[in-house]
């Protein structure tokens, strides 16, 4: 079937277009930042999808060249690992921004990340054997070579590995449901605690991006778990694979930038101290520590001074036409 291939190609074009049109913002707003968690997450989330695109085009589309079997296996493994990394980074961005919106203490963030890591291990560790078997590439056959493909893929996956991978799809669905419940809970708490209209809060707290990232994650896990068998033709799963692999990184990067632009000083301070270089220093009484007590006494001012905040602006198996035996499985249901 050619439909998934066209979906993936369109997603690649959308991502590259977004990258080119926002590169100036990245250079101006992200590159000057120190190498802390925020910059690392942004760069990983933004550039790993380009690695995924390159490996997928080489090992699954008509490039009219022939690659050695070991190179084909390496390309597939590299693309699979790139898929997992960009999904993980998008999810961690979501969790960190949810923690910032909630305004909770660091120990709650540690608890959230501990649950996330545990569920992620439950999804991926049982798939290691499947990953090794799936990457097997025999010497290219005459038909694939004549059609212009670079690799031929063997059917080396055992029934036991397929069953293990299918079971992990349900663990992945549970993980996505947990993240969705956490998102709804945090946004509900924010709405109850803030004054103003729902639309205002949604705009200020980037709730649209938060909902979008959560919905993509849940939809991809649900469609993957509903597939009758790994690699079966499933248009909804192909669509959500496209959304998760290409759109989710875009949304995650925008969410990270928008969290820095929010008008809520509490959210900004959490995002700044966790993700980027602290934008101001605080004294023990919550005032700007750069202004001494003597200076304030000389000025005769006794009122509290708000901290100065430096704003930061935003900056499967289907791999070829007519072939159903090959696609980047890790995108749709391997997250």
Encode pLDDT of 121-176 as tens digits: 999 999 888 888 989 999 998 888 888 999 988 878 898 988 888 899 999 999 99
Select the CATH number that applies to the domain covering 3-276+310-333 from these four: 1.20.1070, 1.10.10, 2.40.50, 2.40.128.
1.20.1070
Distance (Å, whole) CA 38 – CA 40: 6
Q: How many CA atoms lie within 13 A of 274 on its CB side?
A: 26
Contact predicate 321/63, CB 8 Å: no
Distance (Å, whole) CA 73 – CA 132: 9
Geometric angle at alpha carbon 246, from 242 and 247, rounded to 5° = 95
* Residue 323 β-bridge partners: 320
What is the token pair recorded at 52? 């995924």
Distance (Å, whole) CA 91 – CA 80: 17
Q: Which helix (H) or strand (E) holds 161?
A: helix 159-193
Domain boundaries, the chain: 3-276+310-333
Q: Give whichever of 99-108, 241-250, 286-295 has the largest mean pLDDT.
A: 241-250
Give the pLDDT band (50/70/90) at residue 268: low
Tens digit of each residue's pLDDT (9 = 90 or more) over 39-53: 899 999 999 999 999
pLDDT value at residue 55: 93
% of the chain exceeding 70 in pLDDT: 69
Q: How many CA atoms lie within 13 A of 80 on its CB side?
A: 23
Contact predicate 234/223, CB 8 Å: yes
Q: Over 60: is that where the pLDDT of 3 sits?
A: no
Average pLDDT over residues 265-275: 65
pLDDT value at residue 229: 58
b or e along 147-161 (b: 16 or more beta carbons within 10 Å of the residue's beta carbon)?
eebbbbbeeebeeeb
Distance (Å, whole) CA 2 – CA 157: 24
Alpha carbon distances (Å) from 86 to 53, 90, 240, 295: 12, 6, 15, 49
Residue from 239, 245, 212, 226 nearest 84 by CA? 245
Q: How many CA atoms lie within 13 A of 194 on its CB side?
A: 22
């Amino acid at each position: 079937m050619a439909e998934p291939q066209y979906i993936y190609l369109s997603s690649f074009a959308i991502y590259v277009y977004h990258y080119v049109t926002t590169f100036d913002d990245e250079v101006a707003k992200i590159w000057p930042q120190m190498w802390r968690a925020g910059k690392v997450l942004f760069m990983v989330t933004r550039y790993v999808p380009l690695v995924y695109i390159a490996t997928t085009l080489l090992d699954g589309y008509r490039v009219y060249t022939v690659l050695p079997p070991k190179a084909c296996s390496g390309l597939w493994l590299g693309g699979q690992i790139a898929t997992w990394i960009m999904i993980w980074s998008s999810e961690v961005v979501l969790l960190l921004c949810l923690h910032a919106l909630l305004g909770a203490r660091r120990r709650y963030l540690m608890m959230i990340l501990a649950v996330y890591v545990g569920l992620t291990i439950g999804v991926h560790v049982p798939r290691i054997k499947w990953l090794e078997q799936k990457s097997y590439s025999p010497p290219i056959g005459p038909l694939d070579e004549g059609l212009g493909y670079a690799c031929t893929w063997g059917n080396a996956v055992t029934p036991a590995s397929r069953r293990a991978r299918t079971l992990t799809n349900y663990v992945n669905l549970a993980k996505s449901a947990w993240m969705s419940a956490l998102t709804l809970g945090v946004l509900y708490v924010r709405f109850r605690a803030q004054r103003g209209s729902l639309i205002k809060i949604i705009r200020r707290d980037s709730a649209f991006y938060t909902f979008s990232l959560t919905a993509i994650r849940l939809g991809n896990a649900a469609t993957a778990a509903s597939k009758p068998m790994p690699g079966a033709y499933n248009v909804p799963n192909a669509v959500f694979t496209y959304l998760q692999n290409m759109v989710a990184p875009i949304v995650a990067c925008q969410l990270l930038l928008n969290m820095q632009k929010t008008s809520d000083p509490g959210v900004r301070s959490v995002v700044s101290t966790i993700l980027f270089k602290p934008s101001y220093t605080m004294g023990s009484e919550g005032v700007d520590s750069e202004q001494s007590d003597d200076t304030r006494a000389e000025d005769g001012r006794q009122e509290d001074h708000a901290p100065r905040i430096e704003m930061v602006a935003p900056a499967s198996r289907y791999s070829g036409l007519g072939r159903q035996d090959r696609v980047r499985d890790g995108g749709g249901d391997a997250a």
